[in-house]
Amino acid sequence: MEDIRAQIEQEVGSWQGVTVHPHRFGGVEFRLGRRELGHIHTEGWADLPFTTRIRDMLVETGRATPHKFGIRGWVSADLDDETVELFRLGYERARVAEAVRETREPGSRTEPDSAFEPGS
């Protein structure tokens, strides 16, 4: 069990922008900026947040189970090779959300520069 937990921590912690922190209930927590990607409990499972639609799909396909303590918007999964893929799914979603947020920040350019408009 310790080996898979260390492998997951090493892999997820190596992704660009991901930081690893102690989790308040034991184990480790992975973050991208301020967003938690999920955490690993020392007892041997991971908890990850997803939208209701994705959560339902993961549960229906057997890739995860509803959160062990019934927290809405989260799934639980035993630690195995699939766990890294669940963290990857959450990571990719967080990166997309980060990119969208950056384009919406004040001062970001969403319209073409008038000096380079076609026909000028």
Give the tens place of pLDDT for each residue, 8-24: 999 999 999 999 999 99
The fold adopted by the segment(s) 2-100 is Aspartate Aminotransferase, domain 1 (3.90.1150)
The pLDDT of residue 109: 52
* CB 20 within 8 Å of CB 30: yes
Global model pTM greater than 0.85: no
Q: What is the mean pLDDT of residues 12-39?
A: 96
More confident residue, 115 or 68: 68
Asked whether 29 and 39 are in contact (CB, 8 A), the reply is yes
Q: What share of the chain is helix, strand, coil (3-state, %, to 5)?
A: 40, 25, 35
- In Å, how far from its chain's centre is CA 24? 18
